[in-house]
Structures are given as structure tokens and as C-alpha cells.
Structure 1
Amino acid sequence: MNSQQLRIWRDFVETGDELRALLASRLLAESDLSTADYSVLLALSEADGRRMRSSELADHVGWERSRLSHHLGRMESRGLVGREKCLTDSRGSEIVLIATGASLFRRASAPHLRAVQELFLDALDEDLLAKVDDVTRALRAHINSR
């Protein structure tokens, strides 16, 4: 790796970290939701019947099952999600987005998307955004091919 490649790599990583930290800080300040909370609520809000098996939810958000289990326990104690018997398998349970969590997620989404607009999209014109899309697709394809 030459010095220019190393600089580009570090800039890429550090800028992504800073962007995620800024978005996380704003999300927490404006909605009292962590990015982890938001990821879980988003997945459940998009799921059929607003419910998922925990193993499916873990795969969807890209977490280890133990991490998800601990986080769901905290979210359940805050009244954001619930557990119900699985509709298709009486031995299992599903994580369900309940009314309180759905309401908080809806209220958090508008300010969160405004922050994404302000901190990410407003920095890029259409050509740069298309290039970011190209880079992201290339990276994802490369990673998925391994």
C-alpha cells in the first residue's frame, strides 16, 4: 500500500466513523433512541406483521444473536418491543413492534432523515452521489464475492 492509498483508506474510515457518530448523537438527542434501537425498530417496522423471529432479526441487522438478545431485553423493558408466540411455530417466539415503539420510531424518523440529508446528502451533488453509489456497490460486490 502506498502513502496515497493509505491516506485515502484512513480518510474513508475516519469520515465514516465521524458521520456515524454525528448521526448517532443527533438521533439520541432528538429521540432518545440509539442507532441500535433505531436499526431494530426499522427492521420490525418493515417486516410482515411488524414481527420477526429473533434469529431472522439478528441476521437482518447483522448482529450476533447474544448481542441482539441483550439489546431486545433492554428494549422490551422500555416498552418498545414485545415477545409473542410465533404464528407459524408454536415452539418459538417472535419479536413484535408494539405501539409505543412504533410511535417513537415514527417520531424519530423525520429528524433522523433530516440529519442524514444535512450531514450526508447536502455535501454531495448528483454526480458525487452517483460515484458514492458506484463505490458502495463495488465494495459490496467485492466483499460478497469472498
Structure 2
Amino acid sequence: MNTEELGNLPITFSSNPYFSSVEIISSQRDHGMGLFWQTIDKYSEPNLESVDFFVVFKALIDFHYEKFLNGKAWGKIENNHKKLLDHPDCSPDMEVVSNKILSSLPEQKEHWKKLSKSWEELKMNSLSNDNLENWRLEALCNSTSTTN
């Protein structure tokens, strides 16, 4: 996944305590992505806090993006914009925006299909519950070996 593919992840996570340093201003999107990656990197070593972080991270991604990852959002988006175009009060500017969104839907669907595949692979491997449990056990072993 690259920065463009990650889209609004920093904005989505900015209200989460783990990502409290990710303050997004629309004109500083790249800066927000930098802070987002710094936060991810902060939890890249196996310890108890990192395990908790990635459990929350998985849940937030699934909660906020599930309808895009599983494809259920697209029919609703398409229907809403078609209704808007049929509405008698639809302004010419809104017509342009809705038509642009409708014409980009196939590309957006394909994009999210690829993201979904990558996300599922990540959850089945690095972020699997088994792998996170191994991190937790490793962290517990390390914490008891340093205290002895």
C-alpha cells in the first residue's frame, strides 16, 4: 500500500488515543501520513502495548472501511447520486460532481477490491490473532526475563 492508497486513514485515526499526535489539516495531508507512519513504527516491536495497539488498529480499519472493503458501499453511493441527479433542485455544479463520482465508481471499486485483498492478507499473516498472541507471549517472556 502506498500513501495515495491509504487515503484518509490519518483522519480516521486522529480521534483514537493511540494516534493523538496525528492532527490533520487538509493542506498538510503528507505531514499527517508521516505522523501516521511514525505511530505505526512506534508499535513495530513485540510488546504488550504493541499487541493492544494492533488489535485496536484492526478493529478500527474493519469498522470504518468494511463497507468499502466488502463492496457493499458502491450500490448505495450509485443510487444516492442517481437520485440526486433526478432531483428537481439538483444544481448544475452538483450534477457535475455526481456525474464525476458515478463515472469514477468502476475504478474506485477495483481500487478497493485490491485494498481489500491486501488487508485480508495482512490480517491473516502479520496481524493475525495467532501472530499477535505470539507477540504477547514474547513480550511477557521478555518482561519476566529482564526482571529476574
Structure 2 length normalisation: TM-score? 0.28
Instruction: Find the structure with the greater CA-based Rg.
Output: 2
Structure 1 length normalisation: TM-score? 0.28
User: Which of the two has greater helix per residue?
Assistant: 2
